Amino acid sequence: MKKIQLVFIVATCFFYSSFTWAQNKASDFYRIEFYTEDNKIGFYDTPADYHINEDFNSYLSNLKGYLMYLSANYSDVPKMYFEFEKLLPDTNAIKIKFKNLIDNDKQFNIFLHNSFNKKTIPPLHIDSLVYKVSRFYYVHIFQDVLAAHFCVGINGLFEQKKSEYDPYYNAFAFNCIYNDFGTEKFSEYLNDIGDKINKKTSEDVAKELREKVYKKVINDNEMKKHLISEYESKKDLLNFELIY
């Protein structure tokens, strides 16, 4: 993906790049995984581990959390669990239906196309990235008790002002903490409120504790250094620049 000869080479490279994407759709980034529990077949969608094209392999191995965030928040296909469930025990039929649906999820494929082909979007400042990361350490009322989530779907990002570039920024924010460092920080940030988790409390108290955790993340210099390191190691795969 001499003067006449050079023009020909450039044109060929451009055509090859376009052709490569045309032959690869969302199903090259995602797969359905099956498991058995209590003699029942279960399944879930997940980023793929391998692709025959080495360019895809680098993307898949470095941006798994990024891909998880995009599919969880911007594709309708993973939400069709019960439609897939009706096809059990025919796992092959589920794979086929999943591939057809995700490859025809137009807006989702646009997000993937822009990401993979690095369609440039405005730069993001490190302070904005830290803000986004803080919203993944989310303290709130859940099923009538205080809960803490570290999750692609249940988080505080809905509180931010919306931007058309959020899918890319937010996905990278989650990717930065989808690792041992991120989960260790989760325990650290909740350390002094752990005795309140799973207990009934008011919305006001939940908001106070939530803001307290957000502040910890935002003021954590170790976290900021980690985010910069993550960016530097993966910037060749991203469609935006981080300013710091």
Q: What is the pLDDT of residue 49?
A: 87
Whether the pLDDT of residue 191 is over 70: the answer is: yes
DSSP 151-165: -SSSSSGGGSPP-TT
Whether the pLDDT of residue 8 is over 60: the answer is: no
Q: What is the pLDDT of residue 53?
A: 72
Angle between helices 126-134 and 221-234 (to 10 degrees): 110
For the segment 32-44, the average pLDDT, to the nearest whole number, is 94
pLDDT digits (tens, 9 = 90+) for 143-182: 999 999 999 999 999 888 889 999 999 999 999 999 999 9
* Measured CA distances, 227 to 32, 86, 128, 132, 221 (Å): 30, 42, 11, 11, 10
pTM above 0.85, yes or no: yes
Residues 168-190: b if buried by 16+ CB within 10 A, e if exposed: bbbbbbbbbbbeeebeebbeebb
Q: Do the Cβ atoms of 159 and 134 come closer than 8 Å?
A: no
Q: How far apart are CA 238 and CA 170, in angstroms?
A: 12
Q: What is the pLDDT of residue 79?
A: 81
Whether the pLDDT of residue 18 is over 90: the answer is: no
Could you say which DSSP state residue 241 is in? Answer: P
pLDDT digits (tens, 9 = 90+) for 193-218: 989 999 999 999 999 999 999 999 99
More confident residue, 195 or 16: 195
For the segment 62-83, the average pLDDT, to the nearest whole number, is 93
Three-state SS for 142?
A: strand
pLDDT digits (tens, 9 = 90+) for 94-146: 999 999 999 999 999 999 999 999 999 999 999 999 999 999 999 999 999 99
Domain ranges of the chain: 3-116, 124-243
**CA proximity to 137, closest of 126, 148, 153:** 148
Q: What is the mean pLDDT of the chain?
A: 89
Question: If pLDDT is split at 50, 70 and 90, which confidence band does 14 have?
Answer: very low
Whether the pLDDT of residue 16 is over 50: the answer is: no
Whether the pLDDT of residue 71 is over 60: the answer is: yes
For 8-12, 49-53, 72-76, 219-223, which range has the lowest pLDDT when averaged over its residues? 8-12
Q: How far apart are CA 218 and CA 239, in angstroms?
A: 24
Whether the pLDDT of residue 19 is over 50: the answer is: no
**CA proximity to 107, closest of 74, 67, 79, 81:** 74
C-alpha dihedral (65, 166, 130, 29), degrees to nearest 10: 10
C-alpha dihedral (118, 119, 124, 128), degrees to nearest 10: -90
Looking only at Cα atoms, what is the longest distance across the chain? Answer: 75
Query: Which amino acid appears at position 244 of this protein?
Result: Y
